[in-house]
Homo-oligomer: A and B are copies of this chain.
């Protein structure tokens, strides 16, 4: 996770990724939504490209214009973005918070839950412990 955070961890990267996930792919849209100056937005997009989570796709030759789409690694960030949204909706902001409501393809309003891939139970703190690895945590109760 240290490396995930190294890739994602400044206060502008995740909001920018969110807008791209939401389908805002063009520089001008991203500039408006994030409020970032153009030079800063350019460098952040380059950073996402370098990290392999976003790629450019040319949609106009004259004038030359690219849009930004998620790579497979970028699409794999969906659970992270959704988990952050769930937490933000619950614990921050209030009425002023811009909050989207999603509908899952099953028809229900989307409320993401993090479950164990084996048993399907919701994962809660204290209900898992360390089985190994190179950074063995303590996980005190």
Contact = CB atoms under 8 A, between A and B. Distances in A.
B125 A118 contact: no
Interface in A87-141: 87-88, 90-93, 97-121, 123-125, 127-140
Contacts of A111: 116-118
Interface string A61-93: 000000000100101111111111111101111
Contacts of A81: 1
A81 B9 CA distance: 13
B52 A91 contact: yes
| A interface residue count range (under 10 / 10 to 19 / 20 to 34 / 35 or more) | 35 or more
A60 to B, nearest CB: 16
Given A9-B10, A130-B101, A121 B106 contact: yes
Given A110-B128, A130-B100, A90 B115 contact: no
A5, A52, A107, A117 — which one has the most chain B CB atoms within 10 A of its CB? A5
